[in-house]
A and B are shown apart, each in its own frame.
Chain A
Amino acid sequence: MDDVLIAPDIDYLAVAPMIIVGVTAVVGVLVEAFAPRRPRRGIQLVLTFGALIAAFVVLISQAGTRVITGSLAIDGPSLVLQGLILLIAIVSAMLMAERRVDPAGDAFSPRASALPGSEEERVLSTRGFMQTEVWPLMLFAVVGMMLFTAANDLLVMFIALEIMSLPLYLLAGMSRRRRLLSQEAALKYFILGAFSSAFFIFGAAMLYGFSGTISLPGIADALSANPGQTPLIFIGFGLVVIGLLFKVGAVPFHQWVPDVYQGSPSAVTAFMAAAVKVAAFGALLRFLYVAFGGARWDWQPALWIIAIATMLVGSILAITQTDIKRMLAYSSIAQAGFILVGVIAVNPEGVAAVMFYLAAYGFATLGAFAVISLVRQDGGEATHLSNWAGLGKRSPVLALSMSLFMLSFAGIPLTSGFIGKFTVFEAAILADAVPLVIVGVIASIIAAFFYVRVIVLMFFTEPAEVGPTVVLPSVFTTLVLAISVAVTVILGVFPQPVLDLVEQANVFLR
């Protein structure tokens, strides 16, 4: 009766970035409740950018921290990935803040709960209503992502998974144009995401049943203490990995990716495609290396198959797509396969390569979706590939940036994507996974087809008579494009500083 709980020792400065973003998200909800309608968007923008930038500054000041506080492990990979998430979030927030490209307002529906096509929606739109809950939702998603990469504990990982996913389910359904497609995307994402979360927590329960603890290092200790193979380990591992691979978009669990990426507003797709992958791969890395690092001979064959299937399926299915958002969705599945190759190579070079690839891929994705949001017809985005014909003549700057991003995805030298693929394949070869590299190269060649097809379409095809227009964006999207182009080029030509950074930060804390 007299044993009072001893408070755990928490290094608040190390988790301060997450706290800053989380508190700002809660304050954002209060702003939603109390602020009058007109200044609401301005307040939310200030809060969002302020929080993200402040969190990033605090994060940089924490460089070099290696500590396990409570259930979180703040070490090199988690700091680098959290920083990457924050940068991607800042750039995505700029994309979401864009108001000039859509003649009716910003990219989000004036009231997401209004019936599509109803009178209420039309009235709200003409009155200039704006759903400013987007900003707190995005901040909550960022908190979840940062927590996901740092979680040292299966339960905290699950909570972070939910905090990350639920706002994204909402955001996917808030598109201003093509409401039904957007709502369908949100519903599909929600249902499939709920299933995968259920798989995750079932697997976590199995692993708890096997090892008696939910902390990842504890599971590793239990594994090394009981070398016997019990079904509990396999089932637990399999279910948890299914949950994580769903978020990544790996092959048997990729069905949600095309529909969700196509239906969501482009700004949200950019955010999802870039940041969720970072968070999910961070969690996957931590789970596989810290908890199951010793059992790698058991799970590597399974992941080989998944990686090969992902690379091939993503690349092949993207060839037949006619909608550029869907094509980029399948291409992101293929990219996830390439990153999985780096994950499978269980060595420090692999971790560094994965982190670099995520950075390269993230910024290229942001840029590509920024370009997509600028090609419009009748107020909405013109995403059918035929609409992109001849873009090079009408807007050379845009077409050149898009070509840069496509080349980066394809892995052509002098772009960040090339360095990314190079380091990933190098790590795989160092781990004797040569067949994976061969399949990766083949998949890259296949993928290069549809990437180059877009470039050919833009530059070497005659534009249609009555075609889409390219809208002049405000400073937000211009900045996004500029940053993405700069990062893609710099990381391709001068990658050494970033490579050094990720190589220093590639050891997990146990």
Chain B
Amino acid sequence: MNAYAPIFVLALLAAGFAVFSVTLTSFTGPKRYNRAKVDAYECGIEPTPQPLGGGRFPVKYYLTAMMFIIFDIEIVFLYPWAVAFDQLGLFAFIAMMLFLVNLAVPYVYEWRRGGLDWD
């Protein structure tokens, strides 16, 4: 646990600086209210009314995020294997190669089916 304690110190310092900056501006900046300033900026035109919560997002962002999670978990599995590689011998090598094949197949499937295209 001791090795992680310095991170808290740095985190406290950084968070303190950030919060300080963010609250500082409400004191040091001028306050000149103008109705146009607090509207959403859309290059000068009247902003289109937005539904609560931002409305719907295009689904391709979800797809990208899901693909990211799958491959990130694959990488997370690769890390301990890579670190302990020399002690694991041939059996673990073959097992991990099978795992990578198992992940390459859906990758190829997605590629062919257009899941990796950003429309």
Whether chain A touches chain B in the assembled complex (some CB pair under 8 Å): yes
On A, residues with C-beta under 8 Å from B are: 1, 3-5, 7-8, 26, 29-30, 32-34
Are A30's CB and B90's CB within 8 A?
no
**Chain B CB within 10 A, most for which of A1, A32, A33:** A33
Which 10 A-B pairs rank lowest in CB-CB distance, beginning with the nearest? Answer: A7-B91, A33-B112, A33-B109, A4-B89, A5-B88, A5-B89, A29-B109, A29-B105, A26-B105, A33-B108
C-alpha spacing A26/B109, complex, angstroms: 10
Residue B87 at the A interface, CB < 8 A?
Answer: yes
Contacts of A34 in B (CB 8 A): 112
CB of B69 to closest CB in A, whole Å: 14
Residue B48 at the A interface, CB < 8 A?
Answer: no
Q: Which of B95-113 contact A (CB under 8 A)?
A: 101-102, 105-106, 108-109, 111-113
Residue B67 at the A interface, CB < 8 A?
Answer: no
CB of B97 to closest CB in A, whole Å: 14
Contact of B102 among A1, A26, A33 (CB under 8 A): A26
C-alpha spacing A26/B102, complex, angstroms: 8
Q: Can you offer 28 A-B residue contacts whose CB atoms are under 8 A?
A: A1-B86, A1-B87, A3-B87, A4-B87, A4-B88, A4-B89, A5-B87, A5-B88, A5-B89, A5-B91, A5-B92, A7-B89, A7-B90, A7-B91, A26-B101, A26-B102, A26-B105, A29-B106, A29-B109, A30-B105, A30-B109, A32-B109, A32-B113, A33-B105, A33-B108, A33-B109, A33-B111, A34-B112
Contacts of B112 in A (CB 8 A): 33-34
C-alpha spacing A3/B87, complex, angstroms: 6
Q: Which of B1-58 contact A (CB under 8 A)?
A: none
C-alpha spacing A455/B108, complex, angstroms: 51
Which residue on B lies nearest to A2, using beta carbons? B87
Contacts of A30 in B (CB 8 A): 105, 108-109
C-alpha spacing A7/B109, complex, angstroms: 32
C-alpha spacing A30/B86, complex, angstroms: 33
Which residue on A lies nearest to B91, using beta carbons? A7
CB of B73 to closest CB in A, whole Å: 13
Contact of A33 among B91, B92, B101, B113 (CB under 8 A): B113
C-alpha spacing A8/B88, complex, angstroms: 12
On B, residues with C-beta under 8 Å from A are: 86-92, 101-102, 105-106, 108-109, 111-113
Which residue on B lies nearest to A27, using beta carbons? B105
C-alpha spacing A29/B101, complex, angstroms: 12
The prevalent SS among residues of B at the interface is: helix
Contacts of A3 in B (CB 8 A): 87
CB of B10 to closest CB in A, whole Å: 32
**Chain A CB within 10 A, most for which of B86, B89, B105, B113:** B105
C-alpha spacing A33/B106, complex, angstroms: 9
CB of A310 to closest CB in B, whole Å: 36
C-alpha spacing A253/B52, complex, angstroms: 35
Contacts of B86 in A (CB 8 A): 1
CB of A91 to closest CB in B, whole Å: 28
Contacts of B101 in A (CB 8 A): 26
Which residue on B lies nearest to A31, using beta carbons? B109
Contacts of A7 in B (CB 8 A): 89-91
Contacts of B109 in A (CB 8 A): 29-30, 32-33
CB of B80 to closest CB in A, whole Å: 13
Contacts of B105 in A (CB 8 A): 26, 29-30, 33
CB of A397 to closest CB in B, whole Å: 42
CB of B4 to closest CB in A, whole Å: 23
CB of A174 to closest CB in B, whole Å: 16
Which residue on A lies nearest to B59, using beta carbons? A113
CB of A215 to closest CB in B, whole Å: 19
CB of B38 to closest CB in A, whole Å: 37
Which residue on A lies nearest to B107, using beta carbons? A33
CB of B94 to closest CB in A, whole Å: 9
Which residue on A lies nearest to B102, using beta carbons? A26
Supplied contacts A29-B109, A30-B108, 7 more A-B pairs, CB within 8 Å: A4-B89, A5-B88, A7-B90, A26-B102, A29-B106, A33-B112, A34-B112
C-alpha spacing A26/B86, complex, angstroms: 30
Which residue on B lies nearest to A7, using beta carbons? B91
C-alpha spacing A93/B113, complex, angstroms: 25
Contacts of B111 in A (CB 8 A): 33
Contacts of B87 in A (CB 8 A): 1, 3-5
Contacts of B91 in A (CB 8 A): 5, 7-8
Contacts of A4 in B (CB 8 A): 87-89
Contacts of A29 in B (CB 8 A): 105-106, 109
CB of A433 to closest CB in B, whole Å: 45
Which residue on B lies nearest to A34, using beta carbons? B112
Contacts of B88 in A (CB 8 A): 4-5
Which residue on A lies nearest to B111, using beta carbons? A33
Contacts of A26 in B (CB 8 A): 101-102, 105
C-alpha spacing A302/B112, complex, angstroms: 51
CB of A190 to closest CB in B, whole Å: 14
C-alpha spacing A436/B100, complex, angstroms: 50
CB of A197 to closest CB in B, whole Å: 16
Contacts of A5 in B (CB 8 A): 87-89, 91-92
CB of B81 to closest CB in A, whole Å: 11
